[in-house]
Structure 1
Amino acid sequence: MIEPDDDGWPDKYSDPRDRPHPDILRITVESFDDAFEDTLAAVDAVADGNLQPAVVSFATVGDLRKILTDRRIELLQTLMDTEGAAESISALAEALDRDYKPVHDDITLLADYGIVFIVEDDDRSKRPYLPYERIRLDVELTASGSGEEPAAA
């Protein structure tokens, strides 16, 4: 059996391009309890052989909006248009007609949240990698009198 490395994945999956990924990334705004329940349901579904979307959850709409700015959404769309991988962060910055540093910072932030991955090639260049065919934003707003806590902006 292959033992997990520091990131919890077996060594054979040290490159995120080698890991199994679903076609859809679902980005949600939900409470910790709801996210936990969804995770348990997804684990059960996967155990039954049903592939589930990857999920990144934010506690509030405001938190989501801080991370998914218009510029970062444009960056994600550009990555998706290049089949999920750019030659390098520099090439991505050029395709976006933006300076390298803000694109690097955006990629690093999105990677910190598990939305994209950074792959380091043999020549030590860093490549952004987005393994999903679709990203679905799932934000549910409820009336404040519904008994549920409304999403905060």
Structure 2
Amino acid sequence: MTEPDAIDPTGRTLHIRLAGADDERESTSDLLEALDSGEDIEPESDPVLRVESLATLGRVLRETNLELLDAIAEHEPESVRALARAVDRGPKEVLENLNELEDYGLMAFEEDGRAKRPYLPYEEIDIDIQYPLPRSAGGLDSVTSSAA
């Protein structure tokens, strides 16, 4: 799993796309063809997190994680402990969820002395699911990303 490269809190949107491995191969193939033909390639202006299974999408966007993202936006906590108090949960449990969200690039930490201040690097998250749903081989549960 990789996360979106450029975490930049300048109002950008993180796009989450449910996409199968074939979509990724096709996109990469199109890009390589364009490069081979000498076309100028414009990088995507907003980062894209490609999620290859509904299970992963559901796990990442479960209610407890969305509650944390919302609390970060609303309270702008100075630390994990302050966030834990805001959502009335234990700091250890909150930190575990935040680490998962950070792994997917949905939030980030700013070191502030001994405290880690959670913040949102995007103003919004856009979720794109195209039908029919992609059929991943063997229930593949992985994530890939590309960013500007």
With normalisation by structure 1, the TM-score equals 0.66
Corresponding residue to 2:116 among 121, 126, 138: 126
Corresponding residue to 2:80 among 64, 89, 92: 89
Corresponding residue to 2:42 among 45, 51, 56: 45
What's the RMSD between the two structures over aligned residues?
3.1
Match of 2:100 in 1: 109
Distance change (3 Å), C-alpha of 1:91 and 1:56: same
Query: Which fold has the larger relative contact order, with Cα–Cα distance below 8 Å and residues 6 or more apart in sequence?
Result: 2
Consecutive unaligned residues of structure 1, counting only runs of 5 or more, are 1-8, 144-148
2:45 is paired with a residue of what secondary structure?
Answer: coil
Paired-residue identity, %: 33
Shift of 1:21: 5.0
2:34 counterpart of 1:24: no
Q: How far does the alpha carbon of each residue in 1:76-127 deviate from its partner, in whole angstroms, 9 at most, with x for none? A: 1122224xx4211111111111111111000011111121112212x12111
Distance 2:24 2:10 in 1: 19
With normalisation by structure 2, the TM-score equals 0.68
Distance change (3 Å), C-alpha of 1:136 and 1:59: same
Asked if structure 1 preserves the Cα contact closer than 8 Å seen for 2:19 and 2:51, the reply is: yes
2:140 counterpart of 1:139: no
Shift of 1:45: 3.1
Asked if structure 1 preserves the Cα contact closer than 8 Å seen for 2:20 and 2:135, the reply is: no
Aligned residues: 124
Consecutive unaligned residues of structure 2, counting only runs of 5 or more, are 35-39, 140-148
Asked if structure 2 preserves the Cα contact closer than 8 Å seen for 1:22 and 1:53, the reply is: no
